[in-house]
Amino acid sequence: MLFCAIHLRRNVTDKMVALGIEESERREICADIFGVQVGSQLQEGIIDADDEEEFRVRVAQLQEVWETRSGVKGREFHL
């Protein structure tokens, strides 16, 4: 499973690089997707959804966030 997560993260990053998304924005998007540890607290990402419906809701909520952060590039990444 770890290899799958590493491969997925690499694919996500490669896609953002290809779209020309800035590095700081790529880190934020990766945190949105995979979660991030802040101190002793884990901020969940969309991959932490409990079921398909929750996953879809989280993805939909991020569309506006990514467009605001990265404009057209963020919208293209969301697609």
Q: Summarize pLDDT for 26-74 with one digit per residue, the tens.
A: 999 999 999 999 899 989 999 999 999 999 999 999 988 988 888 888 8
Lowest-confidence pick of 2-6, 23-27, 41-45: 2-6
Give this prediction's pTM.
0.83
**Amino acid identity at 66:** W
Is residue 17 a contact partner of residue 30, using CB atoms and an 8 Å limit?
no
Average pLDDT in the 70-79 region? 84
How many residues belong to the chain? 79
For residue 39, count other CB atoms closer than 10 A to its CB. Answer: 5
For residue 35, count other CB atoms closer than 10 A to its CB. Answer: 15
